[in-house]
């Protein structure tokens, strides 16, 4: 399990400007997503990506809770911090 978070700029079509990840193999995982961020990926690009199951990286393809929603960002279960467990 992990903690995964995308940092998006709402005023630019939710362009991903960074990400946070706490979990195993963080360097490997973040390096892969760094390419997407550098190429200007938006949240919708992450949403339309099919996550590799079961991996922690798939958590970035299913993120749905925003800071403004007031919901707890702590997910229950496995699947890389997702809500499938």
Tokens, residue 21:
């990840």
The structure tokens listed for 85 are: 């467990």
Asked if residue 61 lies in contact with residue 46, where contact means CB atoms within 8 angstroms, the answer is yes
69: pLDDT confidence band, cut at 50, 70 and 90? confident
Residue 53 falls in the annotated catalytic set: yes
Predicted confidence (pLDDT) per residue in 11-57, tens digit: 999 999 999 999 899 999 999 899 999 999 999 999 999 999 888 89
Residue whose entry in the numeric block shows the structure tokens 């360097």: 27
Q: Which residue among 10, 53, 54, 84 is the active-site one? A: 53
Beta-bridge partner residues of 9: 15
pTM: 0.80
75 pLDDT tier (thresholds 50, 70, 90): low
pLDDT at 83 over 60: no
DSSP characters for 6-61? EEEEGGGTTEEEEEEEESTTHHHHHHHHHHHHHTT-BHHHHHTSPPPTT-GGGGGG
């Amino acid at each position: 399990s992990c903690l995964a978070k995308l940092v998006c700029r709402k005023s630019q079509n939710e362009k991903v400007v960074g990400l946070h990840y706490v979990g195993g193999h963080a360097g490997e995982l973040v390096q892969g997503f760094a390419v997407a961020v550098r190429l200007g990926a938006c949240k919708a690009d992450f949403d339309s990506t099919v996550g590799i199951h079961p991996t922690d990286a798939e958590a970035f393809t299913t993120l749905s809770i925003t800071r403004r929603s007031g919901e707890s960002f702590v997910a229950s279960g496995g699947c890389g911090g997702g809500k499938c467990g």
